[in-house]
Amino acid sequence: MMRRTEKEALLSEVVTEAKAAKSLVFSDYKGVTVKQLSALRGELRKGGSRFKILKKTILDIALREAGIEVDARKLEGQIGVAFAPDEVSAAKTIADFVKVNKEVKLSIVGGALEGKSLSAAEVNALAKLPSKDEMRARLAGTLQAPVSSFVRALSGTYGGFVRVLGAVAESRK
Q: Residue 154 pLDDT more than 70?
A: no
pLDDT single digits (tens) 92-134 = 999 988 888 878 788 899 999 888 888 888 888 888 887 777 7
pLDDT single digits (tens) 52-79 = 998 988 899 999 998 888 888 888 888 9
Residue of higher predicted confidence among 158 and 93: 93
Where does the pLDDT of residue 7 fall: very low under 50, low under 70, confident under 90, or very high at 90 and above? confident
Average pLDDT of span 34-59: 90
- Sign of the Cα pseudo-torsion (88, 69, 62, 104, in order): negative
Q: pTM (2 decimals)?
A: 0.73
Report how far apart, in Å, the C-alpha atoms of 73 and of each of 43, 64, 110, 129 are: 27, 12, 12, 28
